[in-house]
């Protein structure tokens, strides 16, 4: 491969990275909000959220990407390709994150919640200072695992024309008639992105362990 091919692959990796980062950040926060709403046990809203979560988790990511991109114009929304990709990835990962957060809520010690209220903390304050930090720490492996799955599933956005790492790889392979070199480089770049994510997870865990010591 020549220098131009390498540059294209790096640009594709950057597109994959920033789209996934935005989707992950919004998806984690949206999942937390969805879990909080579900814990309120509001019958109608809870049923709607269960329906959304079930559909989003069961729908193949490529199908969700195509549906959003193709259906948006019919709803009067002219979504640009990258925006449609972010929306699809966010809706997908938010559904999985909601269940991760809900599990963390259900497994949190009731005694700690009651103790926080007993010393005069409001529910909001006890959630922010006591529950949330512990929930983040205990859920971190599952959250990072879901982030990894999202990154590995992100090639689905190439079907709507997003020039991500997978689409660039296919372009180079079609021009050079040598698919193996760009595919090996793409695989290495995907591993690098996910490896960085895992490294950040371990760094956060070590930092939390030092604070707890």
Question: Residue 93 belongs to a domain with what CATH number?
Answer: 1.10.3720.10
Most confident of 109-113, 132-136, 157-161, 207-211: 157-161
- How high is the pLDDT of residue 213? 52
pLDDT(7) > 90: yes
What would the pLDDT profile of 53-83 be if each residue is shown by its tens digit? 999 999 999 999 999 999 888 888 889 999 9
- How high is the pLDDT of residue 3? 75
pLDDT(1) > 60: yes
Q: How confident is the model at residue 10 (pLDDT cuts 50, 70, 90)?
A: very high
pTM, two decimals, is: 0.91
- How high is the pLDDT of residue 211? 58
Q: How confident is the model over 111-130, as a mean pLDDT?
A: 78
Phi/psi region, residue 78 (left: phi>0; alpha: psi -120 to 50; beta: rest), is: beta
pLDDT(98) > 70: yes
**C-alpha to C-alpha distance for 155 and 162, rounded to whole angstroms:** 9
What percent of the chain is modeled with pLDDT above 90?
Answer: 64
What domain count does the chain have? 1
pLDDT(189) > 80: yes
- How high is the pLDDT of residue 125? 82
131-139, long-range: CB within 8 Å, 24+ apart, which pairs? 131/105, 134/108, 135/101, 135/104, 135/105, 135/108, 137/205, 137/208, 138/104, 138/107, 139/100, 139/101, 139/103, 139/104
What would the pLDDT profile of 128-185 be if each residue is shown by its tens digit? 888 888 888 889 999 999 999 999 999 999 999 999 999 999 999 999 888 899 999 9
Which candidate, 166, 145, 147, places its Cα nearest to that of 157? 166
- How high is the pLDDT of residue 114? 74
- How high is the pLDDT of residue 138? 86
Name 117's Cβ contacts closer than 8 Å, sequence gap at least 6: 123, 126
Residue listed under structure tokens 């992105």: 193
Q: How confident is the model over 41-49, as a mean pLDDT?
A: 91
pLDDT(212) > 60: no
- Other Cβ atoms less than 10 A from the Cβ of 126: the count is 19
**C-alpha to C-alpha distance for 72 and 38, rounded to whole angstroms:** 28
Expressed as residue numbers, the domain containing 165 is 3-212
Q: How confident is the model over 71-98, as a mean pLDDT?
A: 92
Which candidate, 108, 127, 147, places its Cα nearest to that of 26? 147
């Amino acid at each position: 491969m020549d220098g131009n091919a390498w540059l294209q692959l790096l640009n594709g990796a950057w597109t994959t990275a920033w789209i996934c980062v935005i989707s992950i950040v919004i998806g984690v926060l949206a999942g937390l909000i969805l879990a909080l709403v579900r814990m309120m046990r509001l019958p109608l809203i809870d049923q709607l959220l269960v329906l959304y979560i079930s559909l989003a988790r069961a729908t193949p990511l490529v199908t969700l990407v195509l549906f959003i991109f193709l259906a948006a114009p019919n709803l009067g929304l002219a979504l640009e390709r990258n925006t449609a990709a972010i929306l699809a990835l966010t809706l997908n990962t938010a559904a999985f994150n909601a269940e991760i957060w809900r599990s963390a809520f259900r497994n949190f010690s009731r005694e700690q919640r009651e103790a926080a209220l007993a010393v005069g903390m409001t529910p909001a304050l006890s959630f922010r200072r006591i529950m949330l930090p512990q929930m983040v720490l205990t859920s971190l492996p599952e959250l990072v695992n879901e982030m990894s799955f999202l990154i590995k599933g992100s090639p689905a956005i190439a079907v709507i024309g997003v020039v991500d790492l997978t689409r660039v790889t296919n372009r180079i392979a079609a021009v050079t008639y040598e698919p193996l070199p760009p595919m090996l480089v793409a695989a290495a770049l995907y591993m690098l992105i996910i490896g960085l994510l895992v490294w950040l997870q371990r760094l956060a865990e070590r930092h939390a362990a030092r604070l707890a010591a």
